[in-house]
Structure 1
Amino acid sequence: MRFVFEPSAPVSLPVTGQDERFPVHRVYCVGRNYEEHAKEMGFTGREPPFFFLKPSDSLVVVDAGQSGTMPYPSLTHNLHHEIELVVAIGVGGKNIKAADAEKHIYGYAVGLDMTRRDLQNDMKKQGRPWCIGKAFDQSGPIGPITPKDRAGDVNNAEISLQVNGVDRQRSSVAKLIWNIAETIEHLSAAWELQAGDLIFTGTPEGVAAVVPGDRLVGQVAGLGSLSIVVQQ
C-alpha cells in the first residue's frame, strides 16, 4: 500500500513487566463520574453516564519511574488537573453486559485528563461541544499499563494527586458513580469497543488550576505513579 505521505507511527503504551507494547485505538472519557466532583461542578445525583473522546495522539506517554513534561496549552488561562483510573480494553465487543465486562479488560493505568476549563465553560454556556477544552494536544498524560492480574483490587483502590507535594485530590475508585463494569456496559452500547481502546473513568473532587513549573504526581494504588511537569 502506498500513501501520499508517510503516516504517523501508531500510539502505544509500555506494559509493566513485559517488552510488548499496548497499541492504542480510541480514547474514551467518562464525564462527572464521582459524586463529589459532580457537586463541585454544579451537578448532583446518579445521572446517566456520558462520554467524550480525546485523540489518541493527545496522550503524553510516561514510562515507569520517569517524569514527563507537557507544555502549558495555548488559548487558556485556567488549566485544570483531573486524575483518573484508565481501563485498557484487550477484547472488543458491543452490548457487553456488566457481568461480562471483566473478560474484556486487559489492564489499568494512571492518567490525567487535563482540561482548559475556561474554554470548556465557554462551550457549555453556548451549548457547543467541549472538544477545545478537553481534546487539545498533549491533554492526556498517562503511565504504563499494568495487566489486570498484577493490578490488585482496582475497584477499591485509593486514587490521589499531589501538586508540588501537596494533596489536591484523594478518593477511592469505590466511589465511582458508575463502576468499571457498568461503564463498559453503557459505553459498549453506544460504540463497539475494540482491543486497544482506553477508558478514562472519571475524576474525584479537588480539581484545580496548575501553572508552568508545577509538578503533578498522580497515583492509583497498585498501579504505581504518574509524574508530569507543566512547562511554559
Structure 2
Amino acid sequence: MNTDSLPGLPDLQPGNIFCIGRNYAAHARELNNPVPERPVIFTKSSSSLCYDGNVVIPAFVKEPHYETEVVAAISREGKNIPAGEALQHIAGYAVGIDVTARDIQTELKEKSHPWFLAKSLDTFAPVSSFVSAAEIADPNNISFSLEVNGERRQTGDTSLMLFPIDLLIATLSKYVTLKPGDLIFTGTPEGVGQLHPGDHLHAELQQGLITLDVIIAFEN
C-alpha cells in the first residue's frame, strides 16, 4: 500500500492526527472519568499511523487497550470554520483504533501530565481505507463496530457523540489551522478492553462498507 497518501483518498497525504477523548458518555463513565463539558483534545504522532497489518506493542507497555473510532479526513485548509460549514471540509471517513497504553495513561493522569506518551507509540493509530464523504448520507449517523477474535466488543454510532463532528471541526479550527490530510479520531464508545498477543481485530464502518483488520504483536 502506498503510505504517501491516505488509502482511498489518493490526493491527500496524512497530516496532523487530532483525537477526541471522552466523546461518548458511557465510555467516560466506564473509566470513571467525568463527562466533559467541552471536547477533550489530544494528539498522536505521525509514526503512530498505520493501516491493515500488525500493531506492535512495546515490552514496557503492560496494559494496552483498543478504542474503536470514526476517523474524519480534512479536505481543505480552514481556520475559524463555522459549524454550519464544517462538513464541507471533510474528504472522507474511515474506521480507526486508538491503541492506548492504559497503564502509562493512568500514571500520566495521576500526575496531571498530557496523554501523548500513552497514545503515540509506533503503530498505535491503525486506520482503514477512507470512503468519500459523498458516500455518507448522514455524518451524524455513522455506525461502527469492533470484533476481537470474532467476538463483538464495541458497537457505536456517531449519533451518540457528546460533541458531533461539525462542532469538533469548528472547535479545533478556532485554535489551529486545519489542513488537507489532517485526521480527526472522533472518540470511542463503551466496551474498551485489553489487548493480547495474536489478537485479531476486525473493525467495520457502516456494516462493512469499510473494514480494518490488524493483528496484535508484542515485542519480546
Q: TM-score, normalised by structure 1?
A: 0.88
Q: Could you say which residue in structure 2 is the equivalent of 1:166? A: 151
Identify the match of residue 28 of structure 1 among 18, 26, 37.
18
Q: Could you say which residue in structure 1 is the equivalent of 2:51? A: 61
Identify the match of residue 192 of structure 1 among 177, 193, 196.
177
Q: Unaligned stretches of 5+ in structure 2? A: none
Pairing 1:96-111 to 2, within 5 Å after superposition: 96-111=81-96
- Give the match's secondary structure for 2:204: strand
Identify the match of residue 71 of structure 1 among 26, 49, 56.
56
Q: Could you say which residue in structure 2 is the equivalent of 1:12? A: 5
- Give the match's secondary structure for 1:23: coil
Using the TM superposition, give the Cα deviation of residue 10 of structure 1 relative to its aligned residue in structure 2, in angstroms: 7.2
Q: Does 1:203 align with 2:188?
A: yes
Task: String of CA shifts for 1:63-95, please: whole Å, max 9, x gaps.
Answer: xxxxx1112223111100000000000011111
The answer on whether the counterparts of 1:37 and 1:203 sit within 8 Å (CA) in structure 2 is: yes
Distance, in Å, in 1 between the alignment partners of 2:127 and 2:11 is 14
Q: Does 1:49 align with 2:39?
A: yes
Q: Could you say which residue in structure 2 is the equivalent of 1:228? A: 214
Aligned length: 216
The answer on whether the counterparts of 1:32 and 1:203 sit within 8 Å (CA) in structure 2 is: yes
Using the TM superposition, give the Cα deviation of residue 158 of structure 1 relative to its aligned residue in structure 2, in angstroms: 1.6
Structure 2: which amino acid aligns with 1:175? L
Pairing 1:175-190 to 2, within 5 Å after superposition: 175-190=160-175
Task: String of CA shifts for 1:95-125, please: whole Å, max 9, x gaps.
Answer: 1111010111111111110000000000000
Distance, in Å, in 1 between the alignment partners of 2:78 and 2:105 is 31
Q: Could you say which residue in structure 2 is the equivalent of 1:114? A: 99
Using the TM superposition, give the Cα deviation of residue 35 of structure 1 relative to its aligned residue in structure 2, in angstroms: 0.7
The answer on whether the counterparts of 2:139 and 2:165 sit within 8 Å (CA) in structure 1 is: no
Distance, in Å, in 2 between the alignment partners of 1:75 and 1:151 is 40
Q: Could you say which residue in structure 2 is the equivalent of 1:5? A: none
Q: Unaligned stretches of 5+ in structure 1? A: 1-8, 63-67
Q: Out of 82-91 and 124-133, give the one that drifted further.
A: 124-133
Q: Does 1:127 align with 2:102?
A: no
The answer on whether the counterparts of 1:36 and 1:204 sit within 8 Å (CA) in structure 2 is: yes
Structure 2: which amino acid aligns with 1:226? L
Distance, in Å, in 2 between the alignment partners of 1:229 and 1:99 is 39
Structure 1: which amino acid aligns with 2:8? V
Using the TM superposition, give the Cα deviation of residue 46 of structure 1 relative to its aligned residue in structure 2, in angstroms: 4.5
Q: Could you say which residue in structure 2 is the equivalent of 1:146? A: 131
Task: String of CA shifts for 1:125-154, please: whole Å, max 9, x gaps.
Answer: 011121111111110001111111123433
Identify the match of residue 140 of structure 2 among 129, 149, 155.
155
Q: TM-score, normalised by structure 2?
A: 0.93
Distance, in Å, in 1 between the alignment partners of 2:13 and 2:196 is 31
- Give the match's secondary structure for 1:195: coil
Q: Out of 36-45 and 189-198, give the one that drifted further.
A: 36-45
Structural RMSD (CA): 1.7
Using the TM superposition, give the Cα deviation of residue 50 of structure 1 relative to its aligned residue in structure 2, in angstroms: 1.8
